[in-house]
């Protein structure tokens, strides 16, 4: 019997179980009586992990951009010729997968036959099967997907912003790679990446819903083999990343009715301690709510001047090797919006923020964190995110509660440096023709 630990929050009236399986897999089980149950099986392996070695290896392995995403696609093909999606259709489960900059995840939700679906999930992700013939076939499929994203306005907007903010950091790599890079992928490289990053010691399983922790443990015992842990050494090659933004502008033209813009702020001070990074993340999130929400001064002035037609969206992206903030919307005059943004931030740095706005923003973020516990997929995703970041789920609300007005003011002054601003714009094609 595995040593199962109970994590409980009296303030939230929630609890979950966690254990380290003998295979090396970290497992989280969050019992929650909802209409469906959800499972997320993830590995700490994403687009930025393209240079690596195992402890004891003399040389690093460098692999083509986009290989993590390519591997995710290939995992759904089983050796017996059955597609993994077909397996889930037998149980009525809805399955999917995704690759980000820092993780690859496989997931499903189900209203019935949950344990049978979980067996399918653990089985197909732990049994890779690649051949040169199927790899070549997939190169064509993913090549078409990449061309589709080249025509996707929001994808191009994000790509343009990251490649403007960063010169060397691997966050600027497109998750899917390029037509040229995926052409270099072969079965041997896929097995190399799989055997390195799909070690169960590098993976996590989060389950949420009407589930029993001992039943989950039994399924792990049935399907997962014990393995030796080998430390993965990753080289992100970003030690000499410039302080300032690489470029101030990135522009392209697509079939959009009005220009889309994204303004990014590159932030260089990243704490090494996980809880300090988490506090930094939530502090910036509160500041975003204060500066850019529909009740903010910036939104209302831009809207009154007809410079934006709908709300401003803001998001924070953070990992141990990068940290940036971005806001995006659409505007007939992105340059006027940018000029206002610079002026507005300078004014706030000079004249100060509103304490009332801070208190409202902090309550909003705290409430959002509490509402997360009404969603099985949000809970599972948060468990995985906290695991990958080295933090604990129930500490999130405590960290938000600990943030002070002075913390937010300090963040405004330290993070917003005009040398670290960049803007990405997607213009209507007509503008380019004129």
pLDDT, tens digit, 9 for 90 and up, residues 58-85: 999 999 999 999 999 999 988 877 788 8
Helix (H, G, I), strand (E, B) or coil at 347: helix
Q: How confident is the model at residue 2 (pLDDT cuts 50, 70, 90)?
A: low
Q: What angle do CA 339, 341, 344 make, to 5 degrees?
A: 110
pLDDT at 82 (0 to 100)? 79
Taking alpha carbons only, the member of 266, 316, 284, 271 closest to residue 400 is 284
- Please list the active-site residues: 72
| Distance, CA of 31 to CA of 17 (rounded, Å) | 8
Whether the predicted pLDDT of 184 surpasses 80:
yes
pLDDT digits (tens, 9 = 90+) for 238-270: 778 999 999 999 999 999 999 999 999 999 999
Taking the alpha carbons at both ends of the chain, their separation in whole angstroms is: 71
Q: Which residues, 6+ apart, have CB-to-CB distance to 35 below 8 Å?
A: 111
Whether the predicted pLDDT of 432 surpasses 50:
no
CB–CB of 126/84 below 8 Å?
no
pLDDT at 434 (0 to 100)? 38
* Average per-residue pLDDT for the chain: 94
Locate 378 and state its tokens.
Answer: 């949000």
pLDDT digits (tens, 9 = 90+) for 204-215: 999 999 999 999
Between the CA of residue 9 and those of 14, 99, 272, what are the distances in Å? 6, 31, 26
Whether the predicted pLDDT of 139 surpasses 80:
yes
| Distance, CA of 206 to CA of 39 (rounded, Å) | 6
pLDDT digits (tens, 9 = 90+) for 288-337: 999 999 999 999 999 999 999 888 999 999 998 999 999 999 999 999 99
């Amino acid at each position: 019997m595995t040593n199962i630990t109970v994590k409980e929050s009296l303030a939230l009236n929630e609890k979950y179980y966690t254990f380290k399986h003998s295979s090396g897999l970290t497992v989280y089980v969050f019992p929650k009586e909802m209409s469906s149950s959800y499972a997320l099986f993830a590995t700490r392996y994403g687009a930025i992990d393209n240079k690596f070695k195992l402890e004891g290896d003399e040389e690093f392995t460098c692999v083509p951009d986009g290989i993590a995403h390519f591997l995710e696609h290939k995992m759904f093909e089983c050796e017996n010729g059955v597609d993994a999606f077909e397996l889930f259709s037998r149980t009525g489960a809805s399955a999917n997968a995704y690759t980000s900059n820092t993780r690859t995840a496989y997931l499903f939700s189900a209203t019935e036959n949950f344990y049978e679906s979980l067996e399918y999930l653990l089985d197909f992700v732990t049994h890779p099967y690649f051949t040169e013939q199927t790899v070549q076939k997939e190169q064509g499929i993913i090549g078409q997907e990449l061309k589709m994203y080249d025509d996707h306005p929001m994808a191009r907007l994000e790509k343009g912003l990251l490649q403007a903010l960063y010169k060397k950091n691997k966050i600027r790599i497109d998750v899917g790679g390029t037509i040229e890079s995926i052409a270099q992928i072969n079965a041997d490289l896929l097995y190399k990446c799989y055997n390195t990053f799909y070690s169960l010691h590098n993976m996590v399983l989060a389950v949420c819903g009407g589930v029993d922790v001992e039943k989950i443990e039994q399924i792990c015992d049935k399907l997962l083999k014990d393995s030796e842990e080998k430390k993965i050494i990753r080289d992100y090659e970003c030690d000499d990343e410039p302080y300032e933004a690489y470029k101030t502008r990135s522009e392209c033209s697509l079939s959009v009715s009005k220009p889309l813009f994204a303004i990014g702020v590159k932030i260089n001070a990243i704490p090494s301690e996980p809880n300090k990074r988490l506090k930094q993340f939530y502090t910036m999130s509160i500041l975003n709510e204060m500066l850019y929400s529909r009740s903010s001064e910036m939104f209302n002035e831009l809207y009154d001047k007809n410079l934006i037609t709908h709300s401003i969206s803001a998001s924070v992206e953070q990992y141990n090797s990068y940290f940036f903030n971005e806001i995006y919307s659409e505007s007939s005059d992105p340059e006027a919006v940018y000029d206002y943004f610079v002026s507005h931030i300078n004014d706030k740095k000079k004249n100060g923020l509103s304490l009332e706005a801070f208190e409202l923003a902090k309550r909003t973020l705290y409430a959002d964190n509490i509402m997360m516990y009404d969603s099985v997929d949000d809970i599972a995703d948060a468990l995985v995110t906290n695991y990958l970041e080295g933090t604990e789920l129930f500490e999130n609300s405590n960290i938000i509660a600990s943030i002070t007005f002075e913390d937010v003011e300090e963040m405004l002054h330290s993070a917003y440096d005009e040398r670290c601003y960049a803007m990405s714009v997607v213009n209507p094609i007509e503008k380019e023709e004129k």
